[in-house]
Amino acid sequence: MSAKTVTIYGRAKRDEQFLIKTENHDIRISKNKNHPDLDAPSPLEYVLAGYAGCINAVGTLVAKEQKIEYKSLQVDVSGDIDVDKFYGRETTERAGFSKLKATIKLEADISKKQLENWLKTVESRCPVYDNLVNPTPIEVDLVSAFDAVSVI
pLDDT digits (tens, 9 = 90+) for 95-104: 999 999 999 9
In a 3-state reduction of DSSP, which class is residue 105? strand
What burial letters (b/e) apply to 25-47, b meaning 16+ CB within 10 Å? eeebbeebeeeeeeebeeeeebb
Tens place of pLDDT per residue across the chain (152 aa): 899 999 999 998 887 788 999 999 999 998 777 778 888 999 999 999 999 999 999 999 999 999 999 999 999 999 999 999 999 999 999 999 999 999 999 999 999 999 999 999 999 999 999 999 999 999 999 988 766 555 55
d(CA 16, CA 81): 26
C-alpha separations of 48 from 44, 54, 116, 117, 149 in Å: 7, 10, 22, 23, 39
Question: What was the pLDDT predicted at 61?
Answer: 98
Strands 26-29 and 18-21: antiparallel
- In whole angstroms, what is the distance from residue 68 CA to residue 60 CA? 9
